[in-house]
C-alpha cells in the first residue's frame, strides 16, 4: 500500500476538508466512512480557517500594492528633511543666519552635518522637530528658509507619516492573521489525521487497490515509494 501524504499547504488542507464534507452530503451517516460527530467540527474549522486564509491573503495583496509606493514616499521625506537642514547650514556658513537658530530644530549650535535619517523613526522624529522649529522661528520674526520651504517639507513629511501609519496597521493585521493561521493549521492537521484514520479503518476489509480508490474519494492522498513504482512497472510489463 502506498503511503499517504498529509496536506502541506493551506489550499490542500481546505480541499481535504471540503472533499470529506462533500462525501458527507452524498451519503447517509450509516454509510459514511467516518463518524458523524466529525462533520460539525469539519464544517466549523473549514469556515474559520478558509476565512482567515482569505483575509491574510487580502491584507497581503493590499500591502503589496501600497508598498510599491511606500519606499518612494520614505525616500522623498528623507531627502526634503535632509535638504532643509543642509540649506539652513549653508545659510549659516554664508553668514546669512546665526548659528544659534539651530537650537530651534533641536540641533547643537556647532553641528555642521545633517542627520543620516536611516530609520523610519528617525525620519518621523526629525521631521517633527524641523517643522515645529521652523514654524516657531518664523513666528518670532525669522525669515523663512527656502528651497525647500518648510511647507514643501511638511507636505512630504505628512505623506510619509500617513503611509507609515497605514503600513504599520497592515503589517500588524497580517501578523495577527498569520498567528491565527498557525493555530488553525495545527487544529486542521489534527482533525485531518483523525478523519483519514477513520476512513482507512472503515475500508480495511477491502483489497489494497479498492481501499486506495475508496479512500481517495474521501480526499486521502497517496504516493508510491520508489521500490513500489518499480514493482508496479515490472508487473505491468509482465502482463
Q: What is the pLDDT of residues 46-77, one digit of tens each?
A: 999 999 998 888 877 766 666 668 889 999 99
CA 34 vs CA 6, 72, 217, 231: distances in Å:
17, 56, 13, 32
Distance of alpha carbon 36 from alpha carbon 147, whole angstroms: 74
Q: Quick check: 121 and 74 in contact, CB under 8 A?
A: no
pTM of the entire predicted model: 0.65
pLDDT at 169: 86
pLDDT at 228: 59
Q: Quick check: 56 and 175 in contact, CB under 8 A?
A: no
Q: Mark the ranges of the chain whose per-residue pLDDT is less than 70.
A: 1, 62-68, 226-239
Which position has the grid cell 500594492? 65
- DSSP H or E run through 3: strand 3-4
pLDDT at 171: 84
The dihedrals phi and psi of 223, each to the nearest 5 degrees, come to -135, 140
Amino acid at each position: 500500500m502506498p503511503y499517504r501524504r498529509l496536506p502541506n499547504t493551506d489550499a490542500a488542507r481546505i480541499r481535504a476538508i471540503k472533499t470529506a464534507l462533500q462525501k458527507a452530503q452524498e451519503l447517509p451517516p450509516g454509510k459514511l466512512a467516518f463518524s458523524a460527530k466529525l462533520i460539525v467540527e469539519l464544517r466549523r474549522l473549514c469556515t474559520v480557517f478558509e476565512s482567515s486564509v482569505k483575509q491574510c491573503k487580502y491584507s497581503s495583496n493590499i500591502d503589496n500594492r501600497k508598498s510599491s509606493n511606500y519606499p518612494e514616499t520614505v525616500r522623498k521625506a528623507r531627502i526634503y528633511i535632509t535638504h532643509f537642514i543642509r540649506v539652513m547650514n549653508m545659510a549659516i556658513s554664508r553668514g546669512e543666519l546665526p548659528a544659534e537658530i539651530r537650537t530651534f530644530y533641536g540641533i547643537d549650535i556647532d553641528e555642521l552635518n545633517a542627520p543620516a535619517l536611516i530609520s523610519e523613526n528617525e525620519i518621523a522624529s526629525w521631521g517633527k522637530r524641523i517643522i515645529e522649529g521652523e514654524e516657531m522661528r518664523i513666528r518670532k520674526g525669522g525669515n523663512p528658509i527656502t528651497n525647500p520651504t518648510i511647507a514643501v517639507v511638511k507636505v512630504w513629511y505628512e505623506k510619509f507619516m500617513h503611509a507609515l501609519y497605514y503600513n504599520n496597521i497592515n503589517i500588524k493585521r497580517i501578523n495577527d492573521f498569520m498567528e491565527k493561521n498557525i493555530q488553525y493549521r495545527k487544529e486542521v492537521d489534527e482533525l485531518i489525521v483523525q478523519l483519514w484514520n477513520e476512513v482507512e479503518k472503515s475500508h480495511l476489509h477491502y483489497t489494497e487497490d479498492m481501499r486506495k480508490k475508496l479512500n481517495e474519494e474521501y480526499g486521502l492522498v497517496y504516493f508510491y515509494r520508489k521500490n513500489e513504482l518499480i514493482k508496479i512497472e515490472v508487473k505491468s510489463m509482465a502482463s
